[in-house]
Structure 1
Amino acid sequence: MSRWKALPTELDPRARQLVIRLRRLKDHSGLSIRQLAAKTGYSPKSWERYLGGRTLPPREAVEALARIAGDDDPTRLLALHEVAAEGWAAPRQSPHHLATDPAPESEPEPEPEPGMELLSAGPERPTSPGRSLLIALVAGAVTLVLAVSSAVLITARIMNDGNDDSPNGTGTGTGSATAATAPLAAPAAPSSAPPRLSYTCRLKRVDGLWYAGNSRTREDTVAYGNNGVEVAEAQCLLRRAGISPGGIDGDFGPLTFGAVKALQKRAGLHVDGMVGPQTWKALRG
């Protein structure tokens, strides 16, 4: 039996049940990821996403896996796929909230076979020590400059008040008390929020197919919650087709999900809100 990695903690329980069932069917078939891809027509990269809980597989991929594994009546599996699709389309919950939900199954999840990279939505970018140090130094320098500037202004205010409060220049000292008790303005903390990625649409027709300059994929499946260049490519092609996906930001959110379903309905495809091989064909055609 293959050794599988644990599924993402934020994965919806309904989707988790489907992925566990698909992993068992894959183990029962005795096929590797590449052999499974060759028999189903979906790429190894797509199957790694499906079996890693990163992307909801299309209905056709589920049927193909059931047929290869010897399941003559995949009705129950397809019903589980429909339920999982509803959970996948819902906004992702936080790990703290998911901890309160009942566990989908009592038995432990299988781990991935050696060499397979079935990971979650992508590795987190490690914070560079040099960048953190630079931010700390800049913040300290800004604070020091503001403190020195405030001290100079207070001193100048005291001297001016002492010289100007009376005609003979002796001063009453009231101005110095006011200046001495004035609170110092707190320096603004430097912003450490990462810049939001932006994409452009450079539409070009090559060999009868449309491309937007972000990705040339024609088979990778992207779905609700995904992000990256494939999502931006789909958003550009949806806009070219006259269906607004919202912004071209590379995030597969509710607006993009609705736009994909509208395109699938118009093209006579299975309406599941995911961009797979058939939907890419409709977008690029």
Structure 2
Amino acid sequence: MSRWKELPAELHPHVHQLAVRLRRLKDHGGLSMRQLAAKTGYSAKSWERYLNGRSLPPREAVEAMARITGDDPARLLALHEVASEHWGKTRGTAPVGPEAAEEEPRPGRSPRVAVVAAVVVLVLAVSGAVLVAARFTGGSDGGGGHGSGAAAATVTTPAASASRSPQTYTCRVERSGGRWYAGNSRTQDAILAYGHAGPEVAEAQCLLARAGISPGEVDGIYGPKTQRAVKRVQQRDGLVVDGIVGPHTWKALRGVTPP
């Protein structure tokens, strides 16, 4: 495991969360900075900036990290989307980071090819958001199944989820293996933040209601009421009060007593 420097105190919690997640993926993959650079096409110096919170990584770099470490790209890109919205507000810079103009080109790419590739990525991202929204509204199983395909399809960006009509989920709360489950998802570590939607959000809402803290309607949409309820649970259990559901908050919601 790497001995990481402390992240800048001025980082927004969402940006901090992304940097910590990327650090963990690098460590779990046993990758050195040189190996990470070779596998992703972004220089070791660039990754040092990304992982130390001095620059926000481009979407392509985050996607490459997910690919080489076997992480769910939809969840990681959703976390990047939320972080990018707050980067400029916190650091006073453009979302791509202050060193974007100095970014080393990826091997084998000319500047012109890089521009074309960026346009293609943008088009694919928009198309993907439309397809995910279509599946949510037209092809959902209604019960919020907890297979890996369903989870990937329902992790969305705030912009995509805002246009959806609410869907009602059922809370089937039961205790199993020392944990509470509500029948929508069995995840232990999904990252959920304001604007996300899907069965994992519905699972969190059901567990919040079980704990006596109302998240509003159980509709699978992470709105302001759900965020406030999450913060109350975090405050109650002595966690970081950031309104983001991560592994520690899931333990609190599922009733896991810390060692």
Q: TM-score, normalised by structure 2?
A: 0.47
Higher relative contact order (CA 8 A, sep 6+): 1
Greater helix fraction, Structure 1 or Structure 2 = 2
Max Rg structure: 1
Q: TM-score, normalised by structure 1?
A: 0.43
